[in-house]
Amino acid sequence: MAENRLEWLPVAVWETLRTVRRKDFLFSVLLTPALIVGVGLVVPWFKQRESRQVTRIAVVSPAVPGAAAAAQLPPLQGFEWVMPPDGERSLAALKRAVAAKRVEGAVVLSAGWAEHGRVRLVVRRTDPAWRSALLRHLREQARLRRAAGLGLDPGALGRIDAPLVPEEVPAVRAGRVSRADRIAAIGMMMLTIMSVLTTGGYMGISIAGEKQARVTEVIVSAIRPQSWMDGKIVAFSLIGLTQVALWVASFGVIALLLGWPLPAGARAGVLAASALLFFLGLLVFVALYALIYATLKDIQSTSKLQAYLILLPLVPIFFLGGVLKSPDAPWVVVVSQVPFFAPVLLPMRLALGAVSGWEIALAAVLLAATAWLLRGAAGAAFRIAMLMYGKEVSLPELWRWAREG
C-alpha cells in the first residue's frame, strides 16, 4: 500500500528532471530577466534621447509683424522659436515650410489671442507629439497676460495657485499602503500569470507528446492513471516554483549589478500571504491544465472550450480596474474569492489594505479544495481519454469526467 501511495513520486522526479534540462526551459528562464532588464534600459534611453531633441516651431503674430520670435513667446525647454523671414509669414508660406520640414510646425498668434484664447497651429499631421507641450505653454502665457490685465503681478498669482498639501490619516491600520507593497503586488501578479502560462505550455508539450508517441499505454499498464497525473501535477508545480525562484533571483542580481534601487518597506504579512496564494494558485492551474491536456489527442486538436480554459489565468486582468478603484466593494470581495481569480486579485487588494484575515483563510481553503478536485478529475479524464483517441471532447463529457473524478 505504501508503494501504491508513492508510485507518483518516480513520475514527478523524472518529469521534473526532464523539463529543467530542456534547452528551451533554460533559455526562457534566462531570457525573461534579460528582457525585463533590456526594457528597463532601453525605455529610459529613448526618453533621454527624446528629451535632448529640439522641436523648431515658427512663431508669427500679425499684430506685431516686426517682433522677434523670442518676444512673442518665452523660451520653452525642448523647443526653438523661429521667426520666418519677410514674405514667408503667410499661412500658405507656413504650410510650405512645414511640408518641406524646414520647421516642425508653426503657431499663428492673432491679435488679442491671450484674451479670446484662439491660436492657429500649422502641423504636418494632425495631433503631433509636440502639440500638448506647446498648448500647455500657450495656456500658461495666456493666463499670465490675463492676470496682468487684471492688475495681478506674478507673485499674487502664485499665491492664488499655491497647491494644497493634504495629510492622509488612515482610519484602519491596514490602510497605510507603501509603494513597496504596490510594487510587490504587481510583481506577484505578473509572476503568477507568466509562470502559469509557461508551465502550462510545457505540460501540454509533455502530455500531448507522450500520447502521440503511444508511450502512455505502456506506462498506465504498470501504474495507475491517477498516480501518473499526480506525478505530472507535482512535477510541473515544482517546475513553476523553480522558474519563479530563478526569475526573482536573477532579476535581483541584475538589479544589484546595475545599481537599481530596490523598493524597501513591503509588509512581511502581505508578502507571505501573496506567496501562499501564488503557490495554491499554481497548484490549481497546473491541475486544470492536467485535466485539459488529458482530454487532448495533440495540441493541434484543441477545441474552443479547451483554448478558453487555457487562457483562464488572463481573465482576472479585466477586473483590475474595479479592484484598484473600489478594493473593498462587495462584488470585488466575491469575485476575488473565485479560485481561478484569487491568486491575482487578492494580492492586489492586500497591497491596498482591503483584505481581512478571514478572506485569506477562505481563499486558501477554496484554492486547496479546487486543486484537489481538479487533480481527481484529471486522473479520471486521463483514464477515460485513453480509449477515445481522435474524438474531440465536449463540455458535457468534460463535466461528466470531472464528476467521476
**What confidence tens digit (pLDDT) does each residue in 27-53 have?**
777 777 677 667 666 766 776 766 678
Q: How many residues does the chain have?
A: 405
Q: Residue 29's closest CA among 37, 18, 20?
A: 20
Spatial neighbors of 230 by CB under 8 A, at least 6 apart, are 8, 11, 12, 375, 379
- Residues 84 and 67: their CA atoms lie apart, in Å, by 11
Other CB atoms within a 10 A radius of the CB of residue 39 amount to: 10
pLDDT of residue 175: 65
Whole-angstrom distance, CA of residue 293 vs CA of residue 287:
10
Where in the chain is CATH 3.40.190.10? 55-156
d(CA 290, CA 342): 20
- In 3D space, the residue among 216, 194, 237 whose CA is nearest the CA of residue 298 turns out to be 216
8 A C-beta contact, residue 281 and residue 192: yes
Count other C-beta atoms under 10 Å from residue 4's C-beta. 10
Largest CA distance in the chain: 100
Quote the DSSP letter at residue 112.
Answer: T
Could you tell me which residues are beta bridge partners of residue 331? none
Hey, is 105 helix, strand or coil? strand
Q: Are 98 and 106 in contact (CB under 8 A)?
A: yes
The secondary element (H helix, E strand) that includes residue 145 is: helix 131-149
Whether 309 and 302 have beta carbons less than 8 Å apart is answered as no
C-alpha distances out from residue 318 to 298, 345, 353, Å: 30, 10, 21
Q: How far is CA 151 from the centre of its chain?
A: 51
CATH class name, domain 55-156: alpha beta
Query: Side chain identity at 198, as an amino acid letter?
Result: T
DSSP letter at 62 equals T
Cα dist from 75 to 1, 109, 139, 153, 155, whole Å: 84, 16, 14, 20, 20
CA gap 278, 193 in Å, rounded: 10
Can you list the residues of the chain whose pLDDT is less than 50?
A: 1-3, 68-70
**Whether the Cβ atoms of residue 299 and residue 204 lie closer than 8 Å to each other:** yes
Residue-level pLDDT at 1: 38
Please, are residues 340 and 315 in contact by the beta-carbon 8 Å criterion? Answer: yes
For the sheet containing 105-109, what is the strand order? 79-82, 55-60, 105-109, 119-123
